[in-house]
Amino acid sequence: MARMSIVDRDGRLHEIEAKPGLKLMEILRELDYGVAAICGGLCSCATCHVFVEESWVAKLPKKQSDEQDLLTELADYNPATSRLSCQVDFTPELSGLRITIAPDG
Ligand code: FES
């Protein structure tokens, strides 16, 4: 198991253990305070939007153009830290990852 720190939409910090090998979104959608992930990971809904703590940003895989295009349409888009969690594999190397769930809509 690996670890992850998640700040929910109410600003509460949660420390969880998570299984590497899943998409980040697949872990987050199982949580009451997680993401809706309406499109199921097809990179078309943006309801899996999260902000990655800056010290972790460079450790994540680079964004593909479809992820980037969808993110830039969002009102809460942060060029430095926004990611679609369905496009990020949660690997063992990401144990300790810190993210914040983005606001709805
Ligand atoms: S789950 Fe829809 S874009 Fe990520």
Residue 27 is part of which domain span?
A: 2-101
- Using CA atoms, how far residue 26 sits from 21, 41, 56, 73, 78, in Å, is 10, 9, 19, 23, 22
The per-residue pLDDT string of the chain (105 residues; one tens digit each, 9 = 90 and over) reads: 899 999 999 999 999 999 999 999 999 999 999 999 999 999 999 999 999 999 999 999 999 999 999 999 999 999 999 999 999 999 999 999 999 999 986
Q: How many angstroms does the Cα of residue 43 sit away from the middle of ligand 1?
A: 5
**Nearest residue to 30 via CA among 21, 44, 22, 74:** 22
State pTM to two decimals. Answer: 0.96
Q: How many angstroms does the Cα of residue 96 sit away from the middle of ligand 1?
A: 23
Domain total of the chain = 1
pLDDT, position 104: 86
Pocket test for ligand 1, best of 22, 23, 26, 45 (most atoms within 8 A of CB): 45
Q: 20: domain CATH number? A: 3.10.20.30
Report residues whose beta carbon is within 6 angstroms of any ligand 1 atom: 25, 37-39, 41-48, 84, 86
CA atoms within a 13 Å half-sphere pointing along the CA-CB vector of 39:
14
Q: How many angstroms does the Cα of residue 37 sit away from the middle of ligand 1?
A: 5
Displacement of CA 76 from its chain's centroid (Å): 14
* Token pair listed for 50: 């999260």
